[in-house]
């Protein structure tokens, strides 16, 4: 069972690697563990500060990745507009 600090390090690694699905799964575990730590321990302020710092670190990286993905999507849509129209039917090869 990973500690909050270990989960935070794993989340940072996943976000830095662009593995956002993995990061999201880890966030789920992090929030569950954080909730338990807040209910049972005297270190609530330290845990909340750690969560805030992790969120502040991850947010710009995630927003940048989202912007890159949006730009790539827009470029694909633009290229699709310039693609030659495909005609239905058969292709014939004429030789000779």
Answer whether 38's CB lies under 8 Å from 45's CB: no
Number of H helices, E strands in the chain: 3, 0
CA distance 33 to 42: 14
Answer whether 60's CB lies under 8 Å from 14's CB: no
Task: Spell out the per-residue pLDDT of the chain, length 96, in tens.
Answer: 889 999 999 999 999 999 999 999 999 999 999 999 998 878 888 999 999 999 999 999 999 988 988 888 888 877 777 766 666 666 666 776
Cα–Cα nearest to 4, from 52, 37, 39: 37
Answer whether 1's CB lies under 8 Å from 34's CB: no
């Amino acid at each position: 069972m990973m500690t909050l600090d270990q989960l935070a390090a794993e989340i940072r690694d996943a976000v830095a690697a662009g593995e956002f699905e993995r990061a999201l799964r880890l966030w789920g575990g992090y929030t569950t563990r954080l909730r338990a730590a807040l209910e049972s321990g005297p270190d609530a302020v330290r845990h909340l500060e750690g969560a805030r710092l992790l969120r502040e670190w991850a947010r710009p990286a995630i927003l940048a990745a989202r912007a890159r993905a949006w730009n790539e999507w827009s470029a694909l849509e633009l290229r699709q507009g310039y693609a030659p129209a495909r005609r239905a039917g058969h292709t014939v090869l004429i030789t000779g």
